[in-house]
Amino acid sequence: MDADALAPVTPGRPVGVAIVDDHPVVIDGVRAWLATEPRLTVLATGDDPDEVLRAAPQADVVLLDLRLHGRLVLDKLAELSSAGRRVVVYSEHSDPATMLAALDAGAVAFLAKHEGREHCVTTVLDAASDRPYVGPALAGAMVGDPRPDRPVLSDKEREALLLWFQSMSKASVARRMRISEHTVKQYVDRARIKYTRAGRPAATKAALLARAIEDGLVRPEEIGIYRSRASTDQPTP
């Protein structure tokens, strides 16, 4: 399922989070971090993704440890993402290859366990609103990605993507570029098609941002990746 089609979190309603990790001390720590943000509420925790989501099927975001019971669960990540779940990977395995593999499997964001509370809270909030957020570790992996299969985007496609990544709605992008909203959608869709043809599909806004940064089409500083967001931030269509 395309994450752009996921139902956005209703403004004013807390974002429901499911935490999947096989280390109770990590769960307790993450729960404490999320508890500092009134817009977040932890609905269920555990070491089995299926059991956790049976307990909290309404969870808006799944915070998933990529290594469970001694093995990397990229297959489960892909399954959850394909089912339309917003999955934020939270892992100690922060080497570039693993982080990029997680994005390829459908993660909307990757958070290294050595990154702090602020990044954790912001990542979960942005994931719930289908806004891209990239922490320092992932930004480094994206910028250093050596893969050569990079599609060529037109100047207009790149401009539309850059404005869209800056948390603008497509209607706002259309006004800024003085074109129709339909044309903006065409630019975004064409970029997605080009990545799909290159064997690197990008079905979600976060995945498309990841591709663009990986390929040097967008620089991290152009979208204010490390900015702090005010509590009045609203979901961006």
Hey, which bits of 5-142 come out as E strands? 15-20, 40-46, 61-64, 67-68, 71-72, 87-91, 109-112
Order of strands across the sheet that contains 61-64: 40-46, 15-20, 61-64, 87-91, 109-112
222 part of a folded domain: no
137 part of a folded domain: yes
Q: Could you give the angle at the alpha carbon of 196 between the alpha carbons of 1 and 103, nearest 5°?
A: 65
Sign of the alpha-carbon torsion through 19, 24, 26, 28:
positive
Tally of domains in the chain: 1
Q: How confident is the model at residue 143 (pLDDT cuts 50, 70, 90)?
A: low
The CATH number given to whatever domain includes residue 141 is 3.40.50.2300
Domain that holds residue 117: 3-212
- In this model, does residue 219 exceed pLDDT 80? no
130 part of a folded domain: yes
More confident residue, 232 or 60: 60
146 part of a folded domain: yes
**pTM score above 0.85:** no
